[in-house]
Amino acid sequence: MNTGSQSLRPGKLLIGLTGGIASGKSAVADMLARLGANVVDTDVIARDVVAAGQPGLEAIVNAFGQDILDENGGLDRRMMRNKVFASAESRARLEAILHPVIRQELWRRVDESDNPVQVLVIPLLVESGLSGMVDRVLVVDCPRQTQIKRLLTRDAETPEQAERILAAQASREARLAAADDVVDNSGSLAMLAQSVQEIYQRYLSHAASSGN
């Protein structure tokens, strides 16, 4: 979180929304957007900057080879995921290409909105040491076994690959230690919606009282 007394973007409360893979970040982000927050999702930006014809895709091909392209010349995301999670070196190489471009576009989208509550969805917020760029860190939390079950069902991953993906991310304990706020997504969708509603109201009150 930002330890200063002022938001990094005056007039706006910056919320860093994070959580492990398959924890439910997208569901929480969608709920916050429906409630009125401006949501800027770095996963969406990451897809945009590697679309066919974009310089980001060309840079990735130069770094990882033509086999990361699908039959239509776009990014084969499953192939890319397998390469990236194969080694720390591969992850670092991809991050060095994408992170500067993604960050520039993220701030552009924040700055063009006058919404007082800005939710920045950053899956690797803790791993990247970027909590200082937001005013509050919101972690979507659920047990590790729930994440694995969702990965096996949602993405048809093997148990071994699911374990590798989780091992490449910050631990649940590290994310919770970095959190200012936590949303528990181990229960029903109705329970999640209630929790998100409550926390959004707190953010509105915080923004109004602090002048952010």
| Residue that the structure tokens 């937001």 belong to | 134
Q: For the chain, give the mean pLDDT.
A: 89
pLDDT in tens, 103-132: 899 999 999 999 999 999 998 899 887 888
DSSP the chain: ---SSS-SSTT-EEEEEE--TTSSHHHHHHHHHHHT-EEEEHHHHHHHHTSTT-HHHHHHHHHH-GGGB-TTSSB-HHHHHHHHTT-HHHHHHHHHHHHHHHHHHHHHHHHT---SEEEEE-TTTTTTT-GGGSSEEEEEE--HHHHHHHHHHHS---HHHHHHHHHTS--HHHHHHH-SEEEE-SS-HHHHHHHHHHHHHHHHHHHHHHT-
CA atoms within 13 A on the CB side of 156: 1
The model's confidence at residue 18, banded by pLDDT at 50, 70 and 90, is: very high
Cα 189 to Cα 22, 139, 170, distances in angstroms: 14, 17, 25
d(CA 105, CA 111): 10
The model's confidence at residue 199, banded by pLDDT at 50, 70 and 90, is: very high
pLDDT in tens, 40-68: 999 899 889 998 888 889 999 999 999 99
Check residue 7 and give its pLDDT.
59
Phi, psi of 205 (to 5 degrees): -65, -40
* Residue 50 · residue 98 · CB < 8 Å: yes
Set out the domains of the chain in order of their start, with CATH numbers. 1-37+115-212 (3.40.50.300), 45-114 (no CATH)
Instruction: Please check the confidence at residue 4 and state whether its pLDDT lies above 60.
Output: no
